[in-house]
Structure 1
Amino acid sequence: MPVFRRPHLKVEQRKSAFSEGNARWTNKDLDPIPRHERKWGVTSLIAYWISDAFNAATWQFASGIIAIGLTWRESLGIVALAFFLVSFVIALNGVIGVIYHAPFPVIARASWGFWGSYIAIISRAILAIFWFAIQTMNGANTVRVMLGAIWPSFLTLHNSIPLSQGIETNTMIAFFLFWIAQVPFLYMHPNNLRWLFMVKSVVVPVAWIAILGWAFGTTRGEDIFQKTSTKTIQGSEYSWAFLSSLTSVIGNYATLSVNQADFSRYSRVSVKWQLLYVPMLPIIFTFISFIGIAASSAGAIKYGTLQWDPMALIANWPSRAARFFAAFSFALAALGVNISANSLSAANDLTALFPRYVDIRRGQLLCAVLCWALVPWKILASAGSFLNFMAAYAVFLGPIAAIMVVDFYLVHHRKYNALALYQPYSIYRYTGGVNWRAVLSFVVGVAPNLPGFINSINPGIGVGVGVHPYQFGWLLGFVGTAGVYWGLSKGFPARETMVERAVLPDMVYEEGGDIEGVSVGAGSGEEEGRGEAKGEKRGVRARLERLL
Structure 2
Amino acid sequence: MKFTLSAFHDALLVKSVDQNGNLRPVEVLDNDSIRPTRAKDRTWTWVTYIFFWFSAIANVSNLYAASTGMTMGLSMWESIICTFGGQFLAGCLMALNGRAGALYRIPFPVLCRASFGTWGALWPTFNRAVMSIVWNGVNSVQGAQCLYVFLHAIFPSIENIPDRMGPKSALTSAQMMCFFIYWLVNCAFLVVPVPKMRSLIYIKVVVYYGGALAMLAWVVSLSNGSPSALRESSTVHGAEKSWLVCKFLFLGLASCATFISNAADLQRYARKPSDVILGQVISFPVSGLLVAVLGNIIAASSKSVFGELIWNPLDFLDKLMSGNRYTSANRTACAFISLAFTYSTVFSAIFENSIPAGNDIASLLPKYITVKRGFFICALLSYAICPWYLLATATVFINFLSSYQIFLSAITGILLCDYYVLRRGKLNIPALYTAHPEGMYHFYHGFNIRAFAVYVIAVAPNFYGFLNQMGVWAGVGVQRFYFVAYPVGLLVAFGGFWVLSVVFGTGVQAGWKGWLEPGEYWDEFDPGREGFDTVEVVNAKSGEKV
Q: Secondary structure at the match of 1:442?
A: helix
The one-character-per-residue Cα deviations of 1:156-197 (angstroms, maximum 9, x if unpaired) are 212234444453210110110111110111222111222221
Quickly say closer, same or farther: Cα 1:216–1:541, change in 2 above 3 A: closer
Match of 2:264 in 1: 261
**Compared CA separation, residues 507 and 190, structure 1 to 2 (3 A):** closer
- Contact 1:61 / 1:249 at 8 angstroms: preserved in 2? no
Equivalent residue number for residue 294 of structure 1? 297
Q: How does 1:53-92 map to 2 (within 5 A)?
A: 53-92=57-96
Q: What is the correspondence of 1:181-200 to structure 2 with a 5 Å cutoff?
A: 181-200=185-204
2:519 matches 1:506: no
Alpha carbons of structure 1 residues 541 and 439: separation in structure 2 relative to 1, 3 Å? closer
Which of 445, 465, 474 is 1:432 aligned to? 445
2:4 maps to what in 1?
Answer: none
Paired residue secondary structure (1:339): helix
Distance 1:434 1:70, change over 3 A: same
Separation in 2 of the partners of 1:303 and 1:240? 32
- The 10-residue stretch of structure 1 (245-254 or 317-326) with the greater mean CA deviation from structure 2: 245-254
- Within the candidate set 51, 71, 76, 1:47 is matched to 51
Match of 2:155 among 151, 156, 169: 151
CA RMSD of aligned residues (A): 2.8
Which of 322, 336, 345 is 1:334 aligned to?
345
Matched with 2:394 is 383
1:344 paired to 2:355? yes
Distance apart, 1:152 and its partner CA:
0.7
Cross-structure match for 2:454 = 441
* CA contact 1:511–1:544 (8 Å) conserved in 2: no
Offset, 1:128: 0.4
Quick check: 1:94–1:274 contact (8 Å CA) kept in 2? no
Distance (whole Å) between structure 1 residues aligned to residue 15 and residue 299 of structure 2: 50
Q: Any idea what the Cα deviations from partners look like across 1:456-486, whole Å, max 9, x if unmatched?
A: 111x533553233222111111122112122
* Contact 1:442–1:481 (8 Å) recurs in 2: yes
Q: Distance in 1 between matches of 2:82 and 2:454?
A: 28
For 1:274 and 1:283, the matched residues in 2 are separated by: 14
1:86-485 alignment, distance < 5 Å: 86-226=90-230, 232-271=235-274, 273-317=276-320, 318=325, 319-425=330-436, 426-458=439-471, 460-463=472-475, 465-485=477-497
How far the C-alpha of 1:400 sits from its partner, in A, is 1.2
Instruction: Give the drift of 1:446.
Output: 0.9
Residue 222 of structure 1 deviates from its aligned partner by 4.5
Shifted more, 391-400 versus 129-138: the winner is: 391-400
Equivalent position SS for 2:198: helix
Alpha-carbon displacement from aligned partner over 1:393-414 (angstroms, at most 9, x marks no partner): 0111112112112211121111
Label 1:492 to 1:220 Cα distance change in 2 as closer, same or farther (>3 A). Answer: farther
Deviation at 1:220, TM superposition (A): 4.5
TM-score w.r.t. length of structure 2: 0.88
Deviates more, 1:413-422 or 1:236-245: 236-245
Quick check: 167-176 or 495-504, which moved more? 495-504
Q: How has the CA–CA distance of structure 1 residues 234 and 273 changed in structure 2, closer, same or farther, with 3 Å as cutoff?
A: same
Residue in 1 aligned with 2:535?
Answer: none
* Distance of aligned partners of 1:234 and 1:119 in 2 relative to their CA distance in 1, 3 Å threshold: farther
Matches of 2:95 and 2:311, distance apart in 1: 31
Amino acid at match of 1:116: G
Cα separation, partners in 2 of 1:498 and 1:86, compared to 1, 3 Å: farther
Q: Which moved more, 1:92-101 or 1:163-172?
A: 163-172
Give the Cα–Cα distance (whole angstroms) in 1 for the partners of residues 354 and 481 of structure 2.
Answer: 31
- The structural deviation recorded for 1:432 is 2.0
Structure ranking higher in helix proportion? 1
Aligned residues: 517
Equivalent pair of 1:351/1:360 in contact (CA under 8 Å): yes
More divergent stretch after superposition (274-283 vs 55-64): 274-283
- Give the equivalent residue in structure 2 for 1:524: none
Instruction: Quote how far apart the aligned CAs of 1:94 are.
Output: 2.3
Aligned partners of 2:403 and 2:469 also within 8 Å: yes
* SS of the residue 1:357 aligns to: coil
Tell me, what secondary structure is at the counterpart of 1:390? helix
CA–CA separation in structure 2 for the residues paired with 1:163 and 1:468: 35
AA of the residue aligned to 2:27? A
Q: Report how far residue 357 of structure 1 moved.
A: 1.6
Task: Flag structure 1 segments of 5+ consecutive residues without an equivalent.
Answer: 515-539
Alpha-carbon distance in 1 for matches of 2:517, 2:231? 57
1:36 alignment counterpart? 40
Structure 1: distance between partners of 2:170 and 2:393: 8
In the TM superposition, residue 424 of structure 1 has moved relative to its aligned partner by 2.4
SS at match of 2:33: coil
Counting aligned pairs with the same residue, the percent is 28
Cα distance, 1:304–1:542 mapped onto 2, change above 3 Å: closer
Unaligned runs of 5+ in 2: 1-6, 531-537
Equivalent residues of 1:145, 1:323 under 8 A apart: yes
8 Å CA contact 1:243, 1:471 repeated in 2 = yes
| Counterpart code for 2:93 | V
Q: Is the 8 A contact 2:270 2:276 kept in 1?
A: no
1:254 touches 1:398 (CA, 8 Å); kept in 2?
yes
- Tell me, in whole angstroms, the C-alpha distance in 2 between the residues paired with 1:227 and 1:378: 38
Q: Find the aligned partners of 2:11 and 2:24 in 1 and give their Cα distance.
A: 20
Measure the CA separation in 1 of the matches of 2:526 and 2:395. Answer: 53
Structure 1 CA distance for aligned equivalents of residues 247 and 307 of structure 2: 30
